[in-house]
Amino acid sequence: MALEPGDPAPEVAAPNQDGETVEPDWAGVSVVYFYPKDDTPGCTTEAEQFQTELGTYRDAGVTVYGVSVDGVDSHADFADEYGIEFDLLADPDGEVVDAFDVERSRGVASRTTFVVVDGSVQATYTGVDPEGHARNVLADLVETGVVSIED
């Protein structure tokens, strides 16, 4: 069962696509989305849409992280090919997946997204449809008053 609203966000560390260790401190607002595999149709759609919305997320003070069980080299190729500028965390041992209690199917993480606000899970999305998800999460953040966006 994935972490639920009110649960503390776990302390995690994983290398990003540049091989740099990332240890989110969870201060402020973060979106952490888990996806099955680099360079597959749904995962590419989801990553590209988070990238499209990245400027708005950043303007609203939101940090975006993508996580899969792929390694650093796979993430590097994926980020280069699709122009992904946010951290893609490599989790081949599944430590981050397990810390967030994300379900796995055939060895990969199920498509699950978390909104973390000041160290606590604010929202959990399971069974995510990648099409439009990045925009929907952003809309929910605005609707719930977690962030505001200047027009």
Q: What tokens does 51 get?
A: 């990238």
pLDDT of residue 87: 98
Catalytic positions, please? 43
- Picking from 5, 12, 4, 8, the residue whose alpha carbon sits closest to that of residue 97 is 12
pLDDT of residue 133: 97
Profile the chain (151 residues) by mean pLDDT over runs of 10 residues. Answer: 94 98 96 96 96 96 97 98 98 97 94 97 95 96 88 61
pLDDT of residue 148: 85
pLDDT of residue 36: 97
- pTM: predicted TM-score of the whole model, two decimal places: 0.95
Check: CB of residue 57 under 8 Å from CB of residue 133: no
Question: Parallel, antiparallel, or unpaired for β 112-117 and 120-126?
Answer: antiparallel
Segment (H or E) for 128: none
Q: What tokens does 71 get?
A: 């390694």
pLDDT of residue 151: 61
Query: What is each CA distance from 147 to 34, 39, 84, 114, in whole angstroms?
Result: 22, 31, 23, 15
Structural domains present in the chain: 14-143 (3.40.30.10)
